[in-house]
Amino acid sequence: MRRRQTSTRLPVAQHDFIVADAGYCSVAGIEYVQQRGADLLVRVNPQSFVAYSARGERIAIQRRLESLSKAGQIGEWPVILYGPHSKFSGRLCAVRKHEGAVQHALRRLNRRASKKQMKTRPETLEFAKYVLVFTTRPRGSAADVLEWYRMRWQIELVFKRLKSVAQLGHLPKHDDRSSRAWLYGKLLVALLAQELIRKGVDISPSGQTRATTRCESMA
């Protein structure tokens, strides 16, 4: 059974800035981070995320997103969340995806629906047109916030490759010291392999670099 992701399982220190995917988007988890003096930036599942205006009115997220009619257009809205123990403020930031990214997201949803033999709801298809995040961090523009989240995805891709190539996701250890030694060994092997691949790409079979070969062919 897969353990549910939650921010309350994370070690959080004051002034930390945690960037997480939609699996960590729960009001209780966000409150847990906020109450420890840290900030969180998290991808939002708009169908289960409940936010309110300063007047206490529930925000219709889909209606706000529909105002972003052009690819690359960015929106930002201050919101209030009500946690189990307190209420706190933050920002919803969104960008409308470019057409290619929208079509890719729709194909992925359709494949998932076909595999599970279920019908995708119209609002799910509409939300697929946007990247929507929530942050408690007051500093930075909406464009900055979305860029920070994009950088998190690049790191995620690196870990996906490490799990696939180096089997980094399988940890056959049970204590901290042996686990750390095993992970360091795997990371060292992965980094050496990456460096060898890079050198192999940069060097032609003749022993000349590609840049030198190009210059000679142009002479």
The answer on 194 and 158 residing in a single domain is: no
Tens place of pLDDT for every residue, the chain, 219 residues? Answer: 344 566 677 788 899 999 998 888 999 999 999 999 999 999 998 888 999 999 999 999 999 999 999 999 999 999 999 999 999 999 999 999 999 999 999 999 989 888 888 888 889 999 999 999 999 999 999 999 999 999 887 887 877 777 777 777 677 767 788 888 888 888 888 888 778 877 766 555 544 544 444 434 334
Q: What φ, ψ does residue 111 adopt, rounded to 5°?
A: -65, -40
Domain membership flag for residue 114: yes
Bridge-partner residues for 79, per DSSP? 90
Question: Into how many domains does the chain fold?
Answer: 2
* Residue 171, in any domain of the structure: no
Residues 105, 187 share a domain: no
Fill in the DSSP letter of residue 9: G
Q: Do 132 and 181 belong to one domain?
A: no
- C-alpha distances (whole Å) from 155 to each of 105, 124, 133 are 20, 26, 17
Angle of CA points 154, 160, 166, to nearest 5°: 130
Answer yes or no: do 63 and 141 share one domain. yes
- Residue 39's DSSP bridge partners are 17
- 142-165 helix and 176-202 helix, angle to the nearest 10 degrees: 90
Check if the beta carbon of residue 83 is closer than 8 Å to that of residue 49.
Answer: no
- Cα three-residue angle 7-13-139, rounded to 5 degrees: 85
Q: Tell me, yes or no, whether 112 lies in a domain.
A: yes
Instruction: Work out the end-to-end distance of the chain between its first and last CA atoms, rounded to an integer number of angstroms.
Output: 64
Which pLDDT does position 127 carry in this prediction? 93
In a shared domain, residues 109 and 48: yes
Check whether residue 41 and residue 130 sit in a common domain: yes
Phi, psi for residue 47 in degrees, rounded to 5? -80, -15
| Alpha helices (H) in 2-98, listed in sequence order | 27-35, 61-65
Residue closest to 134 by CA, chosen among 94, 180, 183: 94
97 and 13 in a single domain? The answer is yes
In a domain, 187, yes or no: yes
Looking at the fold, whether 16 and 35 belong to one and the same domain comes out as yes
Q: What's residue 164's pLDDT? A: 76
Residues in the chain: 219
Give Cα 202 distance to the centre of its chain: 31
Domain presence at residue 153: yes
Please check whether residues 25 and 102 belong to one and the same domain: yes
By the 8 A CB rule, do 7 and 26 touch? yes
57 and 77 housed in the same domain: yes
**Shared domain check, 157 and 113:** yes
Domain around 211: 176-218
Rg (CA), the chain: 22
This prediction has a pTM of: 0.74
Q: Are 194 and 105 found together in one domain?
A: no
In a domain, 1, yes or no: no
